[in-house]
Amino acid sequence: MKKLIFTVIVYCCICNLKVYSQLIVRNWGFEQYDAIGVEIGWTQINTRQQYILDQDTIIFHSGKRSYSVEAKSDTAKDRGMGGAGTMYLSHTISQKRKIKVSAFIKTKNLTEGAAGILVILNGEKGQVFQADNHEKSPTGTTDWTKYELELPLTADVRSVSFAFVMTGKGKAWFDDVQVMVDDQVVDDKTW
């Protein structure tokens, strides 16, 4: 039941990008922020407003910034989730075989939850398939580690939503997201 609720919430948060996704600058390393400090190309996810979502200019995997998600200190047991998501809507997934999404994740005192990647394959009438790496999520305090999910692209897939999210107590950092379609790196020019 929790997985279903988790999926519905993330899907709803990400779907509002559908209209604009072709215009978004892909900000894979979280280096670009707008004038008020919001990361460009990503929609923040904070389902119960129990997380502090921020850029970190001290701890990062590469570049000068990472994206951090930290549980507020006096949160209820059911915190929801915090993170960010985006959607890949492109003719370039047509007739392709697979998509792989990866990111580097670092954690500090992560308990009672997970930090990871979620990928949702969307069809004409809704979700076709979804996967996450929460069963292999880092716990406690960990250094930067690359996590990835690979899914097949079937003929009924029209778009791919992906997010990185944290549940539970503690803090997680995310950096250097990479998307590959049929082993080819997706960059701004292929969107």
Give 39's DSSP letter.
Answer: B
Poorest-pLDDT segment among 2-6, 77-81, 88-92, 128-132: 2-6
In the chain, what percentage of residues exceed pLDDT 70?
A: 81
**Nearest Cα to 15, choosing from 81, 83, 84, 87?**
87
pTM of the model: 0.84
Bigger pLDDT: 95 or 109?
A: 109
Q: How many other C-beta atoms lie within 10 A of the C-beta of residue 46?
A: 18
189's enclosing H/E stretch is none
Strand order in the sheet with 43-46: 43-46, 82-88, 159-166, 115-123, 126-132
164 and 106 in contact (C-beta within 8 Å)? no
Which sign does the torsion angle of CA 14, 18, 20, 22 carry? positive
Architecture of domain 2-190: Sandwich (2.60)
Instruction: Show the 3-state SS of 124-161.
Output: CCEEEEEEECHHHCCCEEEEEEEEEEEEECCCCCCEEE
Q: Quick one: pLDDT at residue 76? A: 64
Cα–Cα distances (Å) from 75 to 38, 51, 124, 133, in that order, read: 23, 9, 38, 24
Q: Domain spans of the chain?
A: 2-190
Cβ–Cβ under 8 Å, residues 86 and 53 = no
Question: What is the rounded average pLDDT for all residues in the chain?
Answer: 84
d(CA 77, CA 2) in angstroms, rounded, equals: 14
Task: Give the end-to-end CA distance of the chain in Å, rounded to a whole number.
Answer: 34
Residue whose tokens read 């990008």: 17
Q: pLDDT-based confidence at 130, cuts 50/70/90?
A: very high
The answer to whether residue 74 scores a pLDDT higher than 70 is: no
Which of 41-55, 74-88, 127-141 bottoms out in mean pLDDT, i.e. has the lowest? 74-88
Radius of gyration of the chain from Cα atoms?
16
